Amino acid sequence: MGQRPALGPYLVEAWRRRRFAMTLAGHRLIGGLLQNRLGILWLVLRPLSLALIYGTMFSFVLSDAARPSGYAQYIIVGICIFEFFAQSISGGAKSITSNSKLVQSLGFPRILLPISIVIEETMKMIPVIALTFIILFVFGEPPAWSWLLLFPLVAVMAVFNLGCALIAARMSVWARDVQQLIPIMNRVLLYATGIFFDVDGALADHPLLLNIVHVIPTYGFVGVARDVLIDSYSAPAIAWVLAPAWAIVTIAVGVIFFWRAEARYGVVE
C-alpha cells in the first residue's frame, strides 16, 4: 500500500489473484439478489420494464423514418446491450470509493475491484441473453447461427466496459462528482446510440451528425448486436470495425490510467 509497482509485475499479481475478483463478484451478485423477494427475476425484469415503458412512449411520437421494422425486437436488444455498459461504468466508478475499508486494510492490486464489477455485470448478462432470445423468437425472429455471435460480442464489450470502468474508478477517487456525472452521460448516450429510434433514418438529412454517431462506441456494440440477432436490421460496416477497436484502445488506456494512481488508492477516504 502507498506504492506503485511496475506495470508488468502489477498485472501478473492481479492475474494471480483473479479468483479474488471472481469470488467477490459472485458473492456481491448473490447478496444483491437475496435482498429482493423476486431475486434473479429482477435481472430480466429491469430491461424488460424499460423496454416496455420507453417502447410504448416512443411508438406514439416517432415518425416512420425513425421507427424501424421489428420495433419490439429493436428496443429489447438495444436496452439489454446498453444496460450492460451503463451498469458496468456506474459500478466501476464506485468500486474503489465504496470499498474504502477493504482498500485501506489489505494490500492487493486495486484493479481487481473494477474487474469484479465487470465480472458481476457479465454474469447478469446470462439470463438477459436468454430473455432476449425468447423475446426474439416470440416476435417472429427465426433462430439463426448468427445468434451465437452475441457471446463473443458480449466478451469484447466486457473488455471495453472494463476499460471505461477503470477510467471512471480513478476519476471518481480524484473527484466524487464523477459519480454524479456518469448517469447524465449515460442518459445522453442512451439517446445518441439510438436505443429507441433508428438514428440512421432520423439523421438521414444530417450526414455530419450521423457520421459522429457512427463512431460512438455504444452505437457500434448495439448495432452489431442488432445485426446478428434481427433479420431485418443491418449495421453499418464501420460498427463491425470500431467495436473491437474501441475495446482494444479503451482497455489499454484504462489499465495504464488506473495503474498510474495505484499508490493513491490506499489513502482513499
Cell numbers standing for residue 82: 446498453
Amino acid at 13: E
Residue 57 has pLDDT above 80, yes or no: no
Output 30 or 88, whichever has higher pLDDT. 88
pLDDT of residue 105: 77
In which band, very low, low, confident or very high, does the pLDDT at 233 lie, cut at 50, 70 and 90? confident
In which band, very low, low, confident or very high, does the pLDDT at 218 lie, cut at 50, 70 and 90? very high
List alpha helices for 17-149, DSSP H: 18-34, 41-61, 71-93, 100-105, 112-138
Cell numbers standing for residue 170: 480513478
In which band, very low, low, confident or very high, does the pLDDT at 34 lie, cut at 50, 70 and 90? low
Amino acid at 22: M
Residue 73 near residue 135 (C-beta atoms within 8 A): yes
In which band, very low, low, confident or very high, does the pLDDT at 266 lie, cut at 50, 70 and 90? low
Per residue in 106-132, pLDDT (tens digit) is: 778 899 999 999 999 999 898 889 888
Q: Give the whole-number percent of the chain exceeding pLDDT 70.
A: 90
Residue 250 has pLDDT above 90, yes or no: yes
pLDDT, mean over the chain:
86
